[in-house]
Structure 1
Amino acid sequence: MKEVIKILAYLLVIAYGLVIGSFLNVCVYRIPLNQSIVYPPSNCTNCNSKLKWNDLIPIFSYIFLKGKCRYCGSKISMRYPIQELLTAIIFVATYIQYGFSLYFIKFVILFCFLIVISNIDIKFQDVYSVTTIPGIVIGTIFAAAEKYLYSSSLGNYLLGAILAGGIISIVVYSTGAMGKGDIEIALLCGMFIGWKYSLIMIILSFVSGGIIGVLLIAFKIKGRKDYIAFGPFLALGTLLVIFFGNNILNWYLQMFF
């Protein structure tokens, strides 16, 4: 019986992740256009036909429709099912790591913000405050909830936001190599993960950003003077510390202390 319940729990998390992933697709498309993310209902971006429920089943609708709109035949971007699947995978991984707990809810909400922010940053090289400020507020609420429920330190998260945002601010204003929106992303991440993990997150972000940047230039996908969105690397660093933060911290302490 326990195994059945366990399987059902996983299926529920997967289904939840797929549905949320579909909603995040809407956010990524509409936020840069300054459109409402709840109204009007979903429609084809090419012919504007209102989509029915059977056009909106995550991943499966894309497969059944062979990647085309049933009304005008225009091609549907692979980005939509990929993001739905990615969101479901992240949700399941978070559930495996934290179970159904406050931390599960907290981190899947953070990942939702980061998925939207990263996609928009990659596509438009821009960060919208509507995707960062609400996240920072929600992160503060979770920090307060942890202090009340688990006697966690609220200062840990506040310092995390200050450190992460402060370090990125120094880079932004001293070099101009990054955008001001990256400061907001760093504040958001720091508010969710605390100061120790924020330091690790920043290091991982710069390392991964440097490696990917070199590869993009080496394969001539980007030029030396082209802008490379840094938001996704802050998101990647945050994801890594959420899943492997303790291991990384223990390895660092063993290596240098």
Structure 2
Amino acid sequence: MFRIMVNKIWAGFNSCPLFLEKKMKNILIILIFSLGIRAETLININLSANPSNYKGICPVTVNFEGEISVSKKCKLQYRFLRSDGKVMPVEVLDFSKKLVNNVKMQWTTQNDLDGWVSIEILSPVSMKYKKVPFSVKCLGIVGPKVMPDLIVKFQGPSSAYQSENLSGKYKLLVSNIGDLEAKNFYLDIVLYGWAGRESAPSKEHICGRGFISSSNPGEDVQPAGLMPSIPPDLPPGEYDICAFVDSTDLIKESKEDNNKSCHSIKILEKK
């Protein structure tokens, strides 16, 4: 049917002026080629909720796991859709080595909830998977150990000058290894110590602060707005530089003594 339609359109172009005939045929060739590529990319999605029907102590985490398979090598962009409308980040899967990849997401709730999760494919084609429903019925008892637990991995420079901007000169990753989402908290880059001859006005020197709006269990995140720099009037010498997550103590965690990652740094006099 598609071939017959193309042949009829192609034949119709023969009655057009020569310059218009060539232009329209080129457009048709591009259209046919694009449709051919689109038709060749077959995508299959499987997704399930565990538990799908929960009754018991809350908060509870519902795990969504599945796989996406494709018919040919490609890079695929997708994101999870949630019934509460929360915007989930776009993820990229590389199918250059294998045609099947696993996907997973977690949803933690401390309230009764009848919801669903789906997957939206953004490229190389646009499609949405069926909604996977789940149900949570809380019995009103909150487990005492079900809390967030924030940790940070940090590696900064071994030396830096007074006033030096540290952006792009460190590696940092915040993780929630607890069982409950943490929302709206801060991360500081801090220097500890004092190398001056006079009495220390403070042994804690904040280099920069970033904000994290949400960190789900098992999720790695980066703070927004973090642009640390060395204080210009800090005396040169040896210090400790630390990344301090939940620095303002807004989040009640199952462990409060694992929020820092530190190493030594030498502060040099600005040239």
Class of the TM-score when normalised by the shorter of the 2 chains: under 0.3
More helix by share: 1
Q: Normalising by the residue count of structure 1, what TM-score does the alignment of the two structures yield?
A: 0.19
More strand by share: 2
Q: Normalising by the residue count of structure 2, what TM-score does the alignment of the two structures yield?
A: 0.19
